[in-house]
Each structure stands twice: as C-alpha cells, then as structure tokens.
Amino acid sequence: MNPNEKSVYSLDELDNIASVIRNFKFFVQPKYKIASATPGSGNTKNIGSVSNLTKLINGEGVFSTLGEEVYDNYWMFYLTKDMAKALEIPRPYTNLKIYLEYKQTGINVLEEHKEEIEQLNEEDVETENEEQEDE
C-alpha cells in the first residue's frame, strides 16, 4: 500500500498507517526546575524555559539549584516593560543578577531600621494595617 495524505483508513487498519513522527521521549519536571529567568515571549509574562534539550530533560534550569521559593518570588514580582509602563514605575529587575541586587537593597533598608521594626508591638502593626485597609 502506498500511503499519502488523501488515503482513508478504517479503524481496523490503524496499524497500517505510517506515523510521521517517532521515537518520542517523555519527561516530567517541576516548572521551577526547567524555568529560565526570561519570559517565554517578548511582551507577556509567560515564564520561559531552558532551551537546551539535555538541561530540559534533566531539570537543570537556573532555578533548579536556587529552589522553588526563589523561582516563585522572582516570577511573582517580575514586570514586563508594558506592565511597568502601565504602572508608571521602572522595572525593578530584568534578570537574576539585578534581582539579587534588588532583593539585597530591600534587605539593607530593612536592616537599617531593624531596631525600629523590632520595637513595634502587635498593636502598632495592627493599627497600621487597619489604616491601610480603610484607604
């Protein structure tokens, strides 16, 4: 039988249909292990993944050693150019190196006010939260 795309087969002939693809290799990895630090497409917040097939199959993306918590935090607050423009703010980070600097700056600011923050009692914190909710 000489198959072509116009051939019609019955279900009984399913084994006779020549496949156009073969040698599948299936794999499963948690998203954070195969994610990259850049979006999958230019203007959306789609999370990109590693493009090297071996790294993809073995779960060796940049977040695989950094962990799921870093992955979640990085992508939760990641802003595309369009998102930052709509919010009228600069993008806080665009890659992992800048993300590290951004997070370190936040830690440094908090460390400078550590004693002040530690002196806050629960009542002060609750009052501030209530005031923010009323706004």
pLDDT computed for residue 52 by the predictor: 95
The domain segmentation of the chain, as residue ranges, is 25-93, 95-135
**Residue 126: what pLDDT?**
63
d(CA 72, CA 38): 14
What is the per-residue pLDDT for 44? 65
Residue 3 structure tokens? 């198959």
Q: Kind and range of the H or E element at 76?
A: helix 68-76
pTM: 0.69
Written as tens digits, the pLDDT of the chain (135 aa) is 455 677 788 888 888 887 778 888 899 999 999 999 998 876 667 899 999 999 999 999 999 999 999 999 999 999 988 999 999 999 999 999 999 999 999 888 889 988 888 888 776 666 655 655 655
Confidence at residue 120, expressed as pLDDT on a 0 to 100 scale: 84
